[in-house]
Structure 1
């Protein structure tokens, strides 16, 4: 049987080693058995049956070009954190992408409420996934906290660093940060902090497999972002049995659950420091957080993402066009 062809447009390809690339690459694999899938940074021409575009603003030209060339063929727009919580509220091209798309994919359970009301009927939740892994051995001699996120304002690394400074007198707490210095000023701050505090390590950019193993080995993952569509590092922590301390934003709560205990207000380094201290000092805290997350782990299984994705793509390709 002839397989229909799809194109996935992502502003970031493999060299970027970021969430957009991870999503696009994984979706190509999940869809590959049923469809012919091409990955591209932009779309200018082609005879594919469907466009799947990541990022409303950065893929706006591709979305507009597709709609001109293929007025009746479907567009799936996957909304990132900067889309949902910034660009669609301020950028005309991003808003135009919402209008042109046939389906709007949000990557956390609360994402649709950030959309303009007129667009919410087009929203579909597709939670990202990863294989489950067992935690690696964790020393009882100290607690190791880990942040994984490139150094840029949206990830708010400074809140993590301020919390590290607050706790710098405790030899039983260790702190790691994995992420490339996309902002040179933040890179300089990370290097200075690592030089000043023996308990803090900035590890720079690491391959995905190395990051995954560090998440497995950490006592706790810290996710302080002010803007997230659905952080894959949080999903990897949940699927590795690693508790998470996260900022109270929809992009995090839409993965962890609105009743999750291990959250702090965005930017509140004192609250984060208090949670980190409790994670070390209260014997039942990390097991309690891990038990809460274990109840949600199956939501992020590869089979669940595969089924949601195939339902969405299959329904759009089978739908008569009303354009």
Structure 2
């Protein structure tokens, strides 16, 4: 049995919850029994997979004390890696207890010292294709799927759409949970008076994907990401993204992706949005073409094979794939 520890409830819409559900499904599909918990639960486990080095540190310590010979894998999240391991408060002693690490995009490796990077695997988060939905005809809809937290820089997009010319038809549909009281008060007030911005609060993941699937663009304004689930979702939905030029996005989309703007630059974001709406110099078509080339990297078969190889490396025997009933 594999113990999968996640800092958030497994049924949550937070990124760690979404990841934990998907990874547990992959491990079970490979034939393993999986127990998901938010803290260490004593048991005869074959391995520990811990999401978030800092928040799951106690679970790693407890597991290593109880099961000194069983392998430990730590998945390093955005708030572990950025701005840096030390600045994020990650305990070096906890990192030393791990046999392998997972990062969610290529540039995550650069955040690790060489002795840790050589024991790290890049596993891109996957998603089956998301069927497209009819686009709204009354506007150029832009999706913003982000919980209200400072690291997501959630007021940036609201400020950018205020700078758009009067002839713009852009309307933002923002869904995401209230996770910061002062920011949420500010965002609710903005949504009430800004006709281009509609913050709808928390919705189910299915509802969020439906909004994404009908939108012309997705926007990501984050200051840091370890490898955003929402980019995988947009790739699966074939919806191009305009993203802050952060390491976590560049590691997924590539240095040559044309849809970046400097983080915290409201004017640059507004200009990129308007260029996409008007398809200036084929800008929206360039984004779409590039995204179509990248879509294959979120194939669930690739993520599943990456986990199979990881477990083989650790000597955790992978049983033959179970046949579904």
Residue matched to 1:18: 14
Matched pairs, number: 315
In structure 2, distance between residues paired with 1:87 and 1:58: 15
Out of 60, 64, 70, the residue aligned to residue 63 of structure 1 is 60
Residue matched to 1:29: 25
CA separation of 1:160 and 1:31: change in aligned 2, threshold 3 A:
same
Q: Which one is further off, 219-228 or 172-181?
A: 172-181
- Partner-residue secondary structure (3-state), 2:263: coil
In structure 1, distance between residues paired with 2:84 and 2:205: 27
Out of 140, 144, 151, the residue aligned to residue 141 of structure 2 is 144
Equivalence map 1:273-284=2 (5 Å): 273-282=270-279, 284=282
TM-score for both structures, normalised by structure 1: 0.93
Aligned CA-pair RMSD: 1.6
Q: Does the 8 A contact of 2:232 with 2:298 survive in 1?
A: yes
Q: Does the 8 A contact of 1:50 with 1:317 survive in 2?
A: no
In structure 2, distance between residues paired with 1:288 and 1:82: 31
Q: Does the 8 A contact of 2:156 with 2:221 survive in 1?
A: yes
Q: 1:89-140 CA distances to partner (integer Å, 9 max, x unpaired)?
A: 2355532222111111000121100112331111110010001123222245
Equivalence map 1:158-169=2 (5 Å): 158-167=155-164, 169=166
Q: Does the 8 A contact of 1:126 with 1:305 survive in 2?
A: yes
In structure 1, distance between residues paired with 2:87 and 2:237: 37
Q: Which one is further off, 130-139 or 152-161?
A: 130-139
In structure 2, distance between residues paired with 1:115 and 1:171: 43
TM-score for both structures, normalised by structure 2: 0.93
Q: 1:156-177 CA distances to partner (integer Å, 9 max, x unpaired)?
A: 1122121122127445111111
Equivalence map 1:95-174=2 (5 Å): 95-139=92-136, 141-167=138-164, 169-174=166-171
Out of 294, 302, 305, the residue aligned to residue 304 of structure 1 is 302
User: Unpaired segments of 5 or more residues in structure 1?
Assistant: none
Q: Which one is further off, 65-74 or 217-226?
A: 65-74
User: Unpaired segments of 5 or more residues in structure 2?
Assistant: 318-325
Are residue 286 (structure 1) and residue 294 (structure 2) matched? no
Are residue 40 (structure 1) and residue 37 (structure 2) matched? yes
Equivalence map 1:245-264=2 (5 Å): 245-264=242-261
Instruction: Note the C-alpha offset of 1:77.
Output: 0.3
